[in-house]
């Protein structure tokens, strides 16, 4: 397998005006056979176009709440801190990536951003707008599962993992309300919340609400998700059953 180069959206510390990265994102890619680089925060279209031409795939990371302005809603008092500069960068970058059909993996906020950017909407706060008995925001340790999701039959994730149900970790208070028309669900929580999506017709656009970057060291299914992404970026197909 070729060793693909993956561009990772940076995590932002607004108060300290700094970029940072959780090592699990990079380690998950590295252990799957890829190499990764954290991108700088920029909304310059020429720079982003160069990134799209250069990198083999893109990982849209977790982080701040997605601004409700992206899905045409007013900010509620339950919405957490947003990062307008990240929103701007990612909403410019994503269409460029999709235009060139480069593989994409979204994690947590990444799933939410992809859905909003493609025309869907979000619950700004699950406890207030979608209350349930499912624990969507667990305490540490984050590498352990807290609830299960049901995988949708005949979807890429179901075929990849070979399971009908999957235990997952969870650390979010927002989630998909209206699914973007170009996306299809791959997993649901017991309360009906969409937990994973894909984009039919694209080479590889997957996004999950849970956190394989925390669980990949102890969970084979998390490693398979990174493996499928890296294989797609390498141009070797998306099977993770080899």
Catalytic residue list contains 211: yes
Set 108, 160, 195, 240: catalytic member: 108
Polymer length in residues for the chain: 242
Cis amide leading into 141 (omega within 30): yes
- Please list the helix, strand and coil fractions of the chain in percent, rounded to the nearest 5, in that order: 30, 25, 45
- For residue 62, give the nearest of 137, 19, 11 by alpha carbon: 11
Contact 151, 163 (CB under 8 A): yes
Catalytic residue list contains 64: no
**Within 13 Å of residue 182, how many CA atoms lie on the same side as its CB?**
13
Set 64, 130, 172, 211: catalytic member: 211
Set 79, 130, 213, 240: catalytic member: 213
- Joined tokens for residue 231: 């294989």
Catalytic residue list contains 216: no
Task: Supply the residues annotated as catalytic.
Answer: 108, 211, 213
């Amino acid at each position: 397998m070729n060793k693909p180069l993956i561009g990772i959206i940076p995590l932002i510390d607004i108060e300290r005006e700094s970029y940072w990265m959780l090592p699990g994102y990079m380690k998950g890619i590295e252990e799957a056979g890829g190499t990764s680089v954290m991108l700088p925060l920029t909304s310059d279209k020429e720079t982003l176009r160069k990134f799209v031409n250069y990198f083999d795939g893109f990982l849209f990371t977790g982080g701040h709440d997605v601004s409700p302005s992206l899905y045409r809603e007013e900010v509620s008092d339950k919405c957490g801190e947003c990062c307008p500069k990240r929103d701007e960068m990612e909403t410019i970058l994503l269409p460029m990536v999709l235009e060139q059909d480069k593989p994409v993996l979204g994690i947590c906020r990444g799933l939410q951003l992809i859905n909003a950017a493609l025309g869907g909407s979000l619950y700004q706060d699950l406890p207030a707008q979608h209350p349930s008995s499912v624990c969507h925001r667990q305490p540490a340790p984050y590498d352990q599962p807290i609830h299960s999701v049901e995988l949708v039959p005949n979807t890429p994730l179901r075929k990849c993992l070979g399971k009908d149900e999957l235990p997952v970790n969870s650390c979010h208070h927002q989630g998909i309300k209206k699914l973007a028309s170009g996306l299809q669900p791959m997993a649901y929580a017991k309360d009906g919340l969409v937990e994973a999506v894909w984009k039919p017709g694209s080479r590889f656009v997957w996004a999950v609400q849970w956190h394989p970057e925390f669980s990949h060291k102890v969970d084979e299914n998390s490693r398979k998700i990174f493996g499928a992404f890296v294989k797609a970026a390498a141009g070797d197909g998306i099977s993770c059953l080899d």
